[in-house]
């Protein structure tokens, strides 16, 4: 009986839902992540005199009242007739999948379908477009995104033609929030780099428990080189300059060691000696993301597998997403780090230049149970469109 009722309801509601789909939206925002839409968003800002142009600007179109047809760009309102006739025509002829309706009738099913129905397979995953910084070895370090904990280094070009610049980062490229006191500064030229890494004080002490899988570093030297024929293979050599003293190690172990009920112990890792590291990566674009990649890496005698994406765009929502899986080693337990940072929290400049969200780490905790190791707030700042 209940299946008959569900079928009848579906039969009655389907024509109404399809009618809603056939009716042209007259109040909507332009979906990001489509080539034609992105071009339209650029042209609207150019004609409105908005400098610099924001490629992921929130654009709202309201043509419900023919006498007051308006365009809102980053919160500012412009009459539609103030734009060129050609651009007006492009706006009026946008297909429905390119729109995010703001006046649609919400049903139970629309909650699940309004986003999914706008996704096209070619926009889910593809090779990066027009991102020379990830396609050429000399420019790989150039990166305008600074993440507070872990992830890629902030890279500032000084002479971009010869790949000259500097980079800086807090945490290792694969660490989570408050996992290590590592920071580094590098100088880049012609696809190679040299730099120093050191400890960032007692930053890991911000969390008072579950610090048994931490990494503690000291002053050291590192050199990197990207294989010249592509941008998929990078080697790194690291060597510690000042070894950590035994008294320091003992003090850290005393406050971080975890003793299980069976007598086994978990304790943190201390950087020592020298390391030969590598990363094999492949750039991809997921939901119109920036600097996306999947990778497998060896770093300080540990193996990592993961992916990361900046500014993924889905139904006008912008967010960063990173997952890093560390295989267990002789010194540390398996650990999974995840970041989900949401943008468009502020208006104007901050609509996409800042992203906030949780940084979660999972590993073995008390008595060999796998669970939440750490939870903290992470921050990403985009400094420019270099």
Q: Where are the domains of the chain?
A: 22-118, 132-382
pLDDT digits (tens, 9 = 90+) for 249-303: 999 999 999 998 888 899 999 999 999 999 999 998 888 788 899 999 999 999 9
Residues 6+ apart with CB under 8 A from 239: 220, 221, 222, 273, 274, 275
Taking a C-beta distance cutoff of 8 angstroms, is the pair 140, 164 a contact? no
Assign 345 to helix, strand or coil: coil
Rounded to 5, what percent of the chain is helix, strand, coil?
Answer: 25, 40, 35
Distance CA 209, CA 256 (A): 7
Q: What local confidence, expressed as pLDDT, does residue 8 receive?
A: 41
Percentage of the chain modeled with pLDDT above 70:
76
Band of the pLDDT at 368, cuts 50, 70, 90? confident
- Nearest to residue 174, comparing CAs of 48, 365, 361, 331? 361
pLDDT digits (tens, 9 = 90+) for 100-149: 676 554 444 444 455 555 555 555 666 665 555 555 677 889 899 999 99
């Amino acid at each position: 009986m209940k299946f008959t009722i569900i079928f009848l309801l579906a039969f009655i509601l389907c024509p109404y839902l399809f009618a809603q789909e056939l009716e042209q939206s007259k109040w909507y925002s332009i979906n990001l992540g489509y080539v034609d839409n992105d071009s339209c968003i650029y042209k609207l800002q150019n004609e409105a005199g908005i400098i610099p142009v924001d490629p992921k600007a929130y654009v709202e179109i309201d043509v419900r009242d023919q006498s007051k047809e308006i365009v809102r760009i980053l919160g500012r309102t412009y009459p539609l007739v103030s734009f060129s006739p050609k651009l007006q025509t492009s706006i009026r002829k946008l297909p429905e999948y390119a729109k995010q309706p703001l006046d649609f009738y919400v049903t139970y099913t629309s909650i699940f379908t309004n986003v999914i129905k706008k996704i096209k397979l070619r926009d889910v995953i593809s090779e990066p477009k027009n991102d020379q910084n990830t396609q050429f070895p000399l420019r790989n370090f150039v990166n305008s995104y600074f993440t507070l904990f872990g992830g890629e280094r902030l890279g500032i070009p000084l002479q971009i033609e010869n790949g000259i610049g500097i980079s800086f980062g807090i945490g290792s490229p694969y660490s989570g929030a408050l996992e290590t006191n590592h920071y580094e500064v590098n100088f880049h030229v012609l696809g190679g780099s040299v730099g120093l890494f050191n400890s960032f004080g007692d930053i890991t002490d911000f969390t008072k428990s579950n610090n048994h899988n931490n990494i503690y570093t000291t002053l050291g030297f590192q050199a990197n080189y990207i294989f010249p024929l592509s941008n998929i293979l990078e080697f790194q050599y690291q060597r510690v300059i000042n070894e950590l003293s035994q008294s320091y190690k003992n003090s850290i172990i005393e406050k971080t060691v975890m003793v299980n009920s069976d007598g086994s112990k978990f304790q943190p890792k201390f950087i020592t000696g020298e390391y030969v590291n590598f990363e094999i990566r492949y750039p991809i674009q997921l939901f119109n993301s920036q600097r996306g990649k999947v990778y497998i890496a060896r770093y300080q005698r540990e193996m990592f597998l993961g992916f990361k994406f900046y500014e993924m765009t889905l139904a006008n929502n912008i967010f960063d997403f990173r997952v890093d899986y560390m295989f267990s080693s002789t010194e540390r337990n398996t650990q999974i780090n995840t970041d989900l940072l949401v943008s468009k929290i502020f208006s104007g400049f901050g609509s996409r230049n800042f992203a906030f969200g949780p940084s979660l780490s999972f590993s073995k905790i008390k008595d060999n149970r796998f669970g939440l190791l750490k939870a903290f707030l992470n921050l990403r700042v985009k400094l420019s469109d270099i």
